[in-house]
Structure 1
Amino acid sequence: MKRRLFSLVMIPFLLFSAQSAAAEEKKEGWHDETMYFIMTDRFMNGDRSNDEQTDNNDPSAYQGGDFKGIQDKLEYLQELGITSIVLSPVFENEAGAYHGYSITDYSKLNPQFGSEQELKSLVNSAHEKNMRVLVDFPATRASTENVWLDDADKSGWFTEVDSMQEPDWLGEMALVNTDNPAVQSALVESAVSLAEQTGIDGYFFSNASAAQPSFWTAFDEALPERHLIGEMTDATMADAAAYEEAGLDAVTSSWLQEPLREQFATIDRPSEDVMNLLQEEQATLNNAMQAIHLTDSSLTDRFTLDMANENMFPGARWRMALTYMYTVPGTPALFYGSEIAQNGESGPDAHGLMNFRTDQELVDYIKQIAALRQELPALRRGTYEPLLDENGMSVFKRQYEDETIVVAINNTGETQNVSIPASALDENKELRGLLNGDMSRAADGEFTIILDREEAEIYALAEKTGINYAFIAAMAAVWVVFIVFLYIVWKRGRKAAKS
């Protein structure tokens, strides 16, 4: 608690001292985003009138979450540092398909989530808060009860009508014939209609790599102002680059998901694989800064389950993983409930109701790193240069224009004392910690960084200071608040004793 109070007080002073371009206005580019994926049914119930299929005693049934509930929680998401939200599929689904992937009709919305007007109201409210809204659009597979299957004129619109899916809780689904131009036209028409009627900012095409890259070109041509993200499933980076060339604005980094989980589920794991993949990603993708980095999603086990299987405390594990994701190149994305370390195996077990009254420690930490990501252009747009990466101890440099940021993450079980050549930075400057207030100056041609186990620090490379009046003033303020607090407690104690 004391460390958090210290860092919250000190961040404005340190940012100012580091001349970090804190006053820079947020650009229009999508590489500045921090995303949050929401399973609508499991987030927040804001309208009881659409709970027709809701059964809170059955985790496989609808639980009542809706567009109104998300709208009611936009301030919570904004405070968490989220700038874009991605909604689970919104189209009409077969009975009980709370997740949204078993689409029965692409021309209708799921009444369990609300009306078109309510979705539009959510989008408008988000825009008032400078937040963007995207919708998951499953275009490669649909329900075995899809209305197109009953239309004799659409007999060639599916390649299979009862394909068992992975994960198995999705059950049997019909595989869309994405090579059929008529299918492509119908899906594009649906996407354009929803975007125009509701004002959403883009789409997340789940399972996008199941279609050829050229399939998505028509979406790009019809929706030039919308941001289009493609989920890459078992795709190589070269494959993903082809999807970008075909018209998708960004892709998910499927090649990073498992290595990230492996690295941060426990301590002392090799970290070089993720570092190498990040460098390859920068060299291969057309829009690497917009690539989506996720640890878990609606279709996976919860990342917290990996930590539990390693008998590790999830709070510390999540802090390490998220610090890494928020500071390396790319777009960090949270799946709802990650901020409360939600657990569970893939399926209903992993899709528990969001709990807004849980322990706030991890939530507060995410707010800190999200604020730094938004304040420091180098963390969103800068070059990436690893300085050290050995068995869980990672140090790397991000540089943008005249701003240099150094990130150090000690994902090991011991205190680490590492040296960084001054030639890699600037020996006439100093490293100032923005999370915990650490500081390092060059001596004998090296900067020394000391971090406790399972701790991280984000440093700004700044001009050396003499007497740090800002630091002294901030510390004095902390002690004044603390003394006043003790006085109030003492006075209340005296009154209680007299009574």
Structure 2
Amino acid sequence: MIPLLLFSSHAVMAEEKSEEWHDETIYFLMTDRFMNGDHSNDEQVNNGDPAAYQGGDFKGAADQLDYLQEMGITSIVISPVFENEPGAYHGYKVTDYSKMNEQFGTKKELQQLVKKAHELNMRVLVDFPATRVSTEHVWVSDPEKDGWITSKSSPQEPAWLGNMAELNTSNKDVQKSLVDAADSLADDTGIDGYFFSDASRAEPAFWTAFAERLSDLHLIGEMKDVTPEEGAAYEEAGLDAVTASWLQQPLREQFATIDRPSDAVKELLVKEQEVMKNPLSTIHVTDSVFTDRFTLDMANENMFPGARWKMALTYMYTTPGTPAIFYASEIAQNGESGIDSHGLMNFRTDQELVDYIKQIAVLRSDLPALRRGTYEPIHEKDGMSVFKRQYEDETLIVAINNTGETQKVTIPAEDLDPEKELRGLLAGDMSRAAEGEFTIILDREEAEIYALAEKTGINYAFIGAMVTVYVTFIIFLYLVWKRGKRAA
């Protein structure tokens, strides 16, 4: 540390929170599995049965907002809030869009959650399932709504959802009723937007009415098995952002282990910049309520999940797009899709990964180039990724060594500025141009974010202070020695 302190430095100043949604960091919160804050609504709770409700509710989520804020989270997406069939703790088997799920609390308690979030400068979105409902939904048994349902009972993917009724999304009455329900809930609770799970099950045009009626809200569509071009069509139809389903599996494959080819993700990121209407708002996720846990991939590769998650999250937080974390990823939750992956959140687990997330979240918040900058790949080979992010006069170089060996990468000085230096912001590394190039050296499974900055000079004031301290200390020792000798 002392050699670093001998040089002057320029602190990176944090910006005020922006109204732009691509500045957000999102956390998907499964209400039932997060925190039980109110035991009075535990009617269906059975903590001995992992397939039953476990007691999480709106009050519990509100109680833990400080925890999320400290981790750098700026927006949360909570589970569907509508009335569900008994035992459907996940919230996707909606039986009535006009009623609240009493297991999670009242509408007033949801209002209180939103109010507290807003006081903490955080945003709240609600997961709104709009393409499939419970086989017990009130519309299914209504003879006047035969045209509203295409199938009253169909096996679902993933299989743990069981059979569900499929809504006729080409029916204008269905569309209007869903928009009415979304508009009503937003008016009553003050939420900031909706996350439409399984949005790609409906045609892009289906979402236009939502966008027109809910123009003040942020609307995210969940994509599954679509290309960037297909995802862009949903943006054109009115959604403000979509999840990058095309990137999810390549990301998991790249970071589940080391030494994996990494060109696929890089090329998809470049494609996003070319075809998406709002590429910086595109949501990047590794896992979700419907998938196996990403940690399971790591376990199957016999890899330590802490290091794997650090590499993956660093990549997600520093590449263009909006990073999103599924609850309990910060404690490396494991499990196969379904009940096994929906374990209770543990707030008393090892803090190492949580602390690392806090560190990269601060950098993403403080450095506009990580949220808004251009993206230029510099080096990509078998897990060693180096790229440049630039915004106005801020230039950053991100290096991620997802390999099993120390890696060395050189960058022509003329591509940056030979009169400046690369100053590491994660681990304090530093590189200056020599013989016409900057050299970056990273240990295995390490990452660094470099700021291109003016060269530091010797801090004479600090050296003077240190000399004063040393001289004072020597004088003190001399006086103690002299007093001791006199006493003898």
TM-score class normalised by the smaller sequence: over 0.9
Q: Which one of 121, 127, 134 corresponds to residue 136 of structure 1?
A: 127
Range with bigger deviation, 233-242 or 327-336: 233-242
Note the 1:35-114 alignment, pairs <5 A: 35-114=26-105
Corresponding residue for 2:433? 442
Does structure 1 residue 17 correspond to structure 2 residue 6? no
Match of 2:238 among 234, 247, 263: 247
CA deviation map 1:139-181 (0-9, x unaligned): 0000000011121111111111111011100000111100000
User: Which of 256, 271, 286 is 1:295 aligned to?
Assistant: 286
Q: Which residue of 2 aligns with 1:463?
A: 454
Give the Cα–Cα distance (whole angstroms) in 1 for the partners of residues 405 and 429 of structure 2. Answer: 18
Instruction: Give 1:291 deviation, angstroms.
Output: 0.4
| Residue aligning to 2:263 | 272
Query: What is the alpha-carbon distance in structure 2 between the residues aligned to residue 329 and residue 384 of structure 1?
Result: 7
Aligned to 1:385: 376
> CA separation of 1:334/1:188 partners in 2, compared to 1, >3 Å: closer, same or farther?
same
Equivalent-residue separation in structure 2 for 1:257 and 1:405 (angstroms): 25
Q: How many angstroms apart in 2 are the aligned matches of 1:78 and 1:474?
A: 38
Greater Cα shift, 418-427 or 81-90: 418-427
Matches within 5 A, 1:84-233: 84-233=75-224
Query: 2:402 matched to which residue of 1?
Result: 411
Which residue in the other structure is 1:420 paired with? 411
Do the aligned partners of residues 134 and 475 (structure 1) sit closer, same or farther apart at CA in structure 2, a change above 3 Å counting? farther
User: Kindly tell me: are residues 386 and 104 of structure 1, through their superposed partners in 2, closer, same or farther at Cα, counting changes over 3 Å?
Assistant: same
SS at match of 1:52: coil
Instruction: For 1:318, give the aligned amino acid.
Output: W
Once the two structures are TM-superposed, the CA of residue 24 in structure 1 deviates from its matched residue by: 2.6
Query: Separation in 2 of the partners of 1:211 and 1:299?
Result: 18
Q: Deviations over 1:348-389 (max 9, x none)?
A: 100000000000000000000000000000000000001101
Deviation digits for residues 221-240 of structure 1 (CA, Å, limit 9, x no counterpart) = 11111000000111111111
SS of residue matched to 1:85: strand
Aligned residue identity for 2:302: N
Q: Secondary structure at the match of 2:258?
A: coil
In 2, Cα distance between equivalents of 1:173 and 1:347? 16
Q: CA 1:388–1:285 in 2, change beyond 3 Å: closer, same or farther? A: same
* Aligned counterparts of 2:390 and 2:159: Cα–Cα separation in 1: 44
Matching residue's letter, 2:41: N
Tell me which amino acid in the other structure corresponds to 1:205: F
Measured in 2, the distance between the counterparts of 1:474 and 1:141 equals 69
Kept in 1: contact 2:290–2:337 (CA 8 A)? yes
Per-residue deviation, 1:23: 4.2
Counterpart residue identity of residue 397, structure 2: V
User: CA contact under 8 A between 2:14 and 2:365: conserved in structure 1?
Assistant: no
| Alpha-carbon spacing, 1:36–1:151, altered in 2? closer, same or farther (3 Å) | same
Q: What is the DSSP-based 3-state SS (H/G/I as helix, E as strand, rest coil) of the residue aligned with 1:448?
A: strand
The structure number with the bigger radius of gyration is: 2
- 1:119 positional shift: 0.2
Deviation at 1:423, TM superposition (A): 2.1
Write the letter of the residue equivalent to 1:17.
H
1:358: which partner in 2? 349
1:204–1:471 distance in 2 versus 1, CA, 3 Å: farther
Q: Please tell me the root mean square deviation across aligned C-alpha atoms, in Å.
A: 2.1
Closer, same or farther: CA 473–336 of 1 in aligned 2, 3 Å:
farther
Structure 1 473/201 Cα, relative in aligned 2: closer, same or farther at 3 Å? farther
Partners in 2 of 1:426 and 1:377 — Cα distance? 20
Structure 1 pair 62–154 and aligned structure 2 pair: CA distance change class (3 A): same
In 1: Cα distance, 2:410 partner to 2:231 partner:
37
Give the equivalent residue in structure 2 for 1:398: 389
8 Å CA contact 2:14–2:367 kept in 1: the answer is no
Shift of the 438–471 alpha-carbon distance from structure 1 to 2, 3 Å rule, reads farther
After superposition, give the CA deviation of every residue in 1:198-222 in whole Å (9 maximum; x if it has no partner). 0000000000011111111111111
Q: 2:326 aligns to what?
A: 335
Structure 1 residue runs of 4+, over 2 Å off? 468-476
2:228 maps to: 237
- Structure 1 pair 306–429 and aligned structure 2 pair: CA distance change class (3 A): same
TM-superposed deviation, 1:125: 0.2
Work out whether 1:33 is the aligned partner of 2:24.
yes
* Counterpart residue identity of residue 340, structure 1: I
CA contact (8 A) 2:15 2:365 kept: no
Deviations 1:107-129 (A, max 9, x none): 11100000000000000000000
**SS state of the match for residue 220, structure 2?**
strand
Pair 1:440–1:44, CA change in 2 (3 A): same
Q: What TM-score does the superposition give when structure 1 sets the normalisation length? A: 0.91
Distance 1:218 1:109, change over 3 A: same
2-side partners of 1:148 and 1:217: how far apart? 23
Q: What is the DSSP-based 3-state SS (H/G/I as helix, E as strand, rest coil) of the residue aligned with 1:345?
A: coil
Q: 1:241 to 1:468 in 2, by over 3 A?
A: farther
User: Structure 1 unaligned runs (5+)?
Assistant: 1-5, 481-499
1:26 positional shift? 2.0
Paired residues of 2:407 and 2:443 also in contact (CA < 8 A): yes
What TM-score comes out, normalization by structure 2 length? 0.93
Question: Quick one: distance in 1 between partners of 2:89 and 2:258?
Answer: 36
Give distance in 2, aligned partners of 1:73 and 1:272.
39
- Cα 1:471/1:435, change in 2 over 3 Å: farther
